[in-house]
Amino acid sequence: MEIQIPYEPRPLQEKIHNELKRFNVICCHRRFGKTVFAINHLIMTACEITNSRLAYIAPTYRQGKAVAYDYLKEYTDPLMKLGGKRHETELKVDLWNGSRIQIFGSDNPDALRGLGFDGVCMDEYALMSPRVWTEVVRPAVADKLGYVIFIGTPMGHNQFWDVYDLAKRRGGKDWYAQLYRASETEIIADEELEEARLTMPEDQYEQEFECSFQAAVSGAYYGKQIQKAEKENRITDVHYDASNDVETWWDLGIGDSTSIWFAQRVGKEIHLIDYYESSGESLAHYAGILRDKGYKYGRHVAPHDITTRELGTGKSRLEVSYDLGLDFEVCPRLEVDHGIEAVRNNLDNCWFDKNKCKYGIDCLRQYRKQFDDRMQTFKNKPLHDWSSHAADAFRYGCSVDGPTRTDWTKPMSVDTRYIV
């Protein structure tokens, strides 16, 4: 039986299908047809390799369900005549030859752990935590020597830029990189592009249509200040000064990530010398991390909710931390907008270690406002995603200032002549 899949690739899509290697980075403008391309490449693999396992990963499970799964059903529909089954609740399709294609969201990376894949597409990788690649996807394709396609539109110098730059430098038989600007592909009419250029902010147009990695992330709170730090070489090698105390700034997660910045104040400058983040760990784990790093610590700054008592133990995390040797200074409860303004007021005085703080820097660069799809405008509140934890911890650190807790415990010298 001859089966015809209703997919007619554009010339550029066909070119990419034919040229792909093992690790592929495709940077393309809006309306390029990347999701349709990605789904159909996975379908081709599923048909060619019996019992293969393929994954399409969207930034969120909800996005994958709303867009990619409809395409998956549409383009595999003719193949259902040969047998197979759709699993609507799990967003997966089993084909007649034992192959399976499944939709995942990077917001739930645990759903991918323990699985092995012959091929993975990470769509809009710029919107994902880089750890989904390094900790989940890379191991998942190791035993089968599976391929990976990173595809999307830039969002500044974040993890998508890193992997694109890596692919360009590595090249060879395993790495492939291509960038497609709207002004070059002829997919969108020149008149439409000119209209978009006139009606969109320049940075947004350059990012969305011309695939500029230099443009600031749309809606980002700190994007331009991070760019400024790069231009001023304040993201560099920043060494630990053993004669100076290290502050730690925390965002404590419950069933979520915990983030810690390690900072030293040098005059008016703030030197960010290290960053750590993990999830699913106890406070004892993080206390151990601090001990292992061997820094000389001053104050530890935590959010106000550290004082909340937990139902199971009846103790607050502040009390548990104290028992572990961590004496926290509690950040005052501020409106998020005020905290963001505090960060902006401090960022121009910050120096970041480019290696130890890389993940944290990526988070600050990515931290942005929620977008209202219905109103087509940004809301005045942050989007909660993988970048939020580092940004929140940084906000708490910038929201406290002045003397450390130990300074307040020193005896005060009082001139009694002025006491009445």
What residue ranges define each of the domains in the chain, with the CATH number in brackets?
11-208 (3.40.50.300), 223-405 (3.30.420.280)
Q: What is the 3-state secondary structure (H, E, C) of 285-335?
A: HHHHHHHHHCCCEEEEEECHHHHCECCCCCCEHHHHHHHCCCCEEECCCCC
Instruction: Return the closest-CA partner of residue 364 out of 241, 206, 234.
Output: 234
pLDDT band of residue 376 (cuts 50, 70, 90) is low
8 Å CB contact between 67 and 35: yes
What secondary structure, in 3-state letters, does 219-258 show?
CECCHHHHHHHHHCCCEECCCCCCCCCEEEEEECCCCCEE
**pLDDT tens digits, residue range 308-361?**
877 567 788 899 999 999 999 999 888 999 999 999 999 999 999 999 999 999
E strands in 110-168: 119-123, 147-152
84-103: per-residue pLDDT in tens?
A: 999 999 999 999 999 999 99
Find the mean pLDDT for residues 210-215: 87
Helices (H), 348-387: 358-366
Cβ–Cβ < 8 Å for 134, 106: no
Look at the block and give the residue holding tokens 């944290």.
Answer: 360
pLDDT of residue 214: 80
**Residue 66, token pair as written in the block:** 């709303």
16-57 tens-digit pLDDT: 999 999 999 999 999 999 999 999 999 999 999 999 999 999
Residue 1: per-residue pLDDT: 67
151 pLDDT more than 70:
yes
Find the radius of gyration of the CA atoms of the chain: 25
- Residues with Cβ within 8 Å of residue 9, at least 6 apart in sequence: 17, 37, 40
The whole model's pTM is what?
0.76
Closest CA to 153 of 11, 27, 278, 56: 27
Of 6, 42, 57, the C-alpha closest to 147 is 42
